[in-house]
Structure 1
């Protein structure tokens, strides 16, 4: 009878991961429950030994982590943890991790409670289980380990089959979120080939009027929060004054709502259908500028990540001069590196990429405390708007450093953020799943110094919808590199340009979406 009660109790606990497993088959949920129960019986059976206690602590920690991750992503984003999200976490710096945890402290409490429930359950049940039950549980669990390879035999001949089998194992256990990490490792095996892929370029170089080209990649900036675009509060006073010197694109959209996807697409000659073949990222604006004889620089406040797991770091590492801020701090900390780059005495034309941290959530951490401004009565809105005002001052500093030089600056944000307003609880977050169109609405503008010739673009071009998925071609023309490709007409600076009739993008799970079908924040709040 006691064994029956323990079995029912273990069944209830083991059902929790299955309930948060998302849209998976009933059979998969049953397997997750069964493997969970077997692990609980094994933990309780070996718990009396020191090694058993250590094993139980480890399983408890992983169990709680899996449940907490699932709970967080369903609660915050209504999405299952995926390989795309795993890629973001793998390449997240420690500063961003601490910031995100501080913003979601209740999920840490959830983790502690789940860990305690699991561990105490094993501790209380251990004294009632006999050796026969433990050996039976071990036998059944090892049977599971044999069944998976037999069921997935078709995976064995494939390259990286050990990763695919590990994914299959983990996806049918209470640690199924770890399968997304394994899938990400499998998908990223090709990243190391990017620097060694030879791209055959065909282009003409025109005599451009600028010597210094500065590309600023913003972070998490919504277009509708810049007074440059008509926002009710004066968040960009410096840019507002410089508008006559700029080409301002009124309807720019990012290709994805997360940095790890949007930045590589925006800098490379790649389509959404080619994303699985990482070698396509070899044709990017840094490699192109190198080939065209530019001196290239990459200066980042995003934190350096592993070139084997990050396409952004791989592209950045192609620059001839590279500098990552040692500790991710305020964006102004990279200004010294920028000053060195524009005054290093190199006589070649320069492409300097500045990768900023912009308005990434939590936005109140993106600027010094004394830069906080009260635009309204909502603190989160004030934090977000203050981060944009801080970016405006940063860009103004950059433009002042370029004073008297033949220079041009292009700025675009990697993506925007969604604004959640739930009973006066305002929160800005990434639109990973079921995003609204506001998650893609970003600023894009090009500034020209008095010593550089500003192109003349018709307002119909500047006012038309444009996707920064085509930025490779825009940046190419901006640099004075006229490519011999029909796709060159995707650049608004090209005489053959025609605005796209339909703008497409992907969500955080790489699902293809259409702009015209995206919901608006206003409608979702009604």
Structure 2
């Protein structure tokens, strides 16, 4: 015992000489997963903030409360490292709000069954906690007061800088999806917490929309002679790249062939240039000026449920995250909603087959990936049709043609029943000659091509035989924000309020003004926008959304 007692001071002194190594080792372990999943600038910010946090902890370590705070800080850093490290090692991915939402909704039985995936990494996680505590302990005893206090002051400056910078950015771009707390934490070693904040926000939003009880004067259903109503929500499809609308390449052979059995909208205009805004406005009462929980809650899924239809949502897109939160809130109202892990949109068809076996009238929504960037990964090798010297132009046109193939497969499944299919794209894309991949979502100063989309209603032969249908073309300009009324009109559903924005109704009157929104929530008049991305900049005037909008 005396030998051990005599040896401890010597061991402690020798270890204290390596406090710099403990400090650096702790830093390296913390940024380890970020190096493989994040940009260099992100890794540098994390490393700087991590160093300042350890120095600040060392500055107060000599006090009891300082030691307690140091343990709590180390525990928080360890938790962030553990989650990001395990996500990277197991899933080869960065941690995202999708993972955060999964964790928040995981039951204890699922945790127990999955624990084996993570126990292998417990020694590394424990090592990080131990080394970080040693680093703080030895920094406290071997670093000058000036350095420690300087680190604490710089930490205050670091947080003040990123808080003010993100606050100003949030005000400038009107971006409300990322809460300020989430924006700030993204720049720190607690970046995992940022994704949990977003996941909690998405869950609350979906819950509010789900629980909101929209009242209608009177819901009734007339006999349309149609049993299956299928809506395909397309993605990033430019009308100008489709043969159906006069494009020089045969990108839509299927759609062009059945156009005589369809009502084709010649000049459809999307209400927004981003999915997260466009799709909810297309399927609900929300519009560019009024994007509220009440408006989103009044949507075609909820009305169809009240009218006695079986409703299903089958999606190839994610069920969380910035691009999907409002969409998922509406989709979750379906009697059956599923997000299928797919490589290509055609993989949704088996689920469609199952949905079509349900008896009675039904509304089935297919949300596809379409031609979203990067278009080269949106179709299988068998659909690699175009081969020119322009790779990315070929990729985009191949993706459009593959979507046409998927639409054809859907119509084959509907051909022997009384069915109607509505297809539209959520938004268009701008063509930027300076961009290697050519196509991009609408910019802060968008052009009309960011909103010019395809839309048509196709009827099966049996549906055409059952009752007269409006076929041909809708020549005038039409906002897909009116699809809420169009879909209800198509399904024969009345809410007690006239649906005069639907071209299928006798009271229909074409609109002359079209409000559209960009990704930063600036609202423009469509007529004020330049024709395309390469047109001269016209500095279009914009306004802000209603103060009550989300």
TM-score by length of 2: 0.65
Matches within 5 A, 1:177-196: 189-196=204-211
* Counterpart pick for 1:451 among 459, 462, 465: 462
Instruction: Supply the distance in 1 between the matched residues of 2:19 and 2:530 (Cα, whole angstroms).
Output: 52
Could you tell me how far 1:336 is from its partner in structure 2? Answer: 1.2
Could you say if the C-alpha distance between residues 402 and 191 of structure 1 is closer, same or farther in structure 2, counting changes exceeding 3 Å? closer
Contact in 1 for aligned 2:275/2:324 (Cα 8 Å):
no
RMSD: 4.0
Q: Secondary structure at the match of 1:323?
A: strand
Matched, 1:403 2:415: yes
2:279 is equivalent to residue 263 of structure 1: yes
Q: Using the TM superposition, give the Cα deviation of residue 305 of structure 1 relative to its aligned residue in structure 2, in angstroms.
A: 3.1
Q: Is the 8 A contact 1:188 1:309 kept in 2?
A: no
Q: Residues 355, 47 of structure 1: CA spacing in aligned structure 2 closer, same or farther, 3 A cutoff?
A: farther
Distance 1:384 1:308 in 2: 21
2: distance between equivalents of 1:332 and 1:164? Answer: 36
CA distance in 2, matches of 1:518, 1:189: 36
Q: Which of 422, 433, 443 is matched with 2:444 structurally?
A: 433
1:315 alignment counterpart:
330
Give the CA deviation at 1:394: 1.2
1:48 alignment counterpart:
20
Note closer, same or farther for the CA distance 1:143–1:351 as it changes in structure 2 (3 Å cut).
closer
Q: What is the distance in 2 between the residues matched to 1:374 and 1:168?
A: 42
The 3 A distance-change label for structure 1 pair 478 and 375 is: farther
Distance 1:265 1:219 in 2: 15
Are 1:211 and 2:211 counterparts? no
Structure 1: any 5+ residue segments left out of the alignment?
A: 1-45, 70-88, 94-125, 153-162
Q: Secondary structure at the match of 1:274?
A: coil
Report whether the alignment pairs 1:336 with 2:347.
no
2:240 aligned to 224, 231, 249, which one?
224
Q: Secondary structure at the match of 1:210?
A: coil
Aligned to 1:415: 427
Report the alpha carbon displacement of residue 224 of structure 1 after superposing the two structures with TM.
0.8
Unmatched runs of 5 consecutive residues or more in structure 2: 1-17, 44-95, 101-138, 168-177, 538-550
How far the C-alpha of 1:58 sits from its partner, in A, is 4.8
Deviation sequence 1:253-275 (CA, Å, 0-9, x none): 11111212211111111132332
CA deviation string 1:278-317 (max 9, x = no partner): 2432211111111000011111111333799822222222
Structure 1 residues 380-395: aligned runs within 5 Å: 380-395=392-407
Structure of larger gyration radius: 2
Does the 8 Å CA contact 2:268/2:478 hold for their aligned counterparts?
yes
Mapped to 2, the partners of 1:385 and 1:47 lie a distance apart of 59
Determine if contact 2:238/2:449 at 8 Å carries over to the other structure. yes
Moved more, 357-366 or 490-499: 490-499
SS of equivalent residue, structure 1 residue 490: coil
d(CA) in 2 for partners of 1:181, 1:427: 34
Counterpart contact for 2:263–2:472, Cα < 8 Å:
no
User: Deviations along 1:103-128, whole A, 9 cap, x unmatched?
Assistant: xxxxxxxxxxxxxxxxxxxxxxx9x9
Please say if residues 267 and 476 of structure 2, whose CA atoms lie closer than 8 Å, have aligned partners that are also in contact.
yes
After TM superposition, give the deviation of residue 170 of structure 1 in Å.
Answer: 6.1
Cross-structure match for 2:262: 246
Displacement after TM superposition at 1:174 (Å): 12
SS at match of 1:421: coil
Which residue does the alignment assign to 2:135?
A: none
> Cα 1:359–1:306, aligned 2, differ >3 Å: closer, same or farther?
closer
* 1:496 and 2:486 aligned: no
1:47–1:428 distance in 2 versus 1, CA, 3 Å: farther
The partner residue of 1:350 within 336, 344, 362 is 362
Quote the Cα distance in structure 2 between the aligned partners of 1:308 and 1:382. 26
After superposition, the C-alpha distances for 1:194-241 in whole angstroms (9 at most, x for unaligned) are 111111123432211111101011111111111111110111111111
CA change 1:48–1:193 in 2 (3 A) is same
Task: State how far apart, in whole Å, the 2-side matches of 1:404 and 1:311 are.
Answer: 35
Aligned to 1:388, what secondary structure does the other structure show?
helix
Aligned to 1:288: 303
Counterpart of 1:272 in structure 2 is 288
Q: Is residue 235–residue 425 contact of structure 2 (8 Å, CA) maintained in 1?
A: yes
Tell me the TM-score normalized by structure 1: 0.68
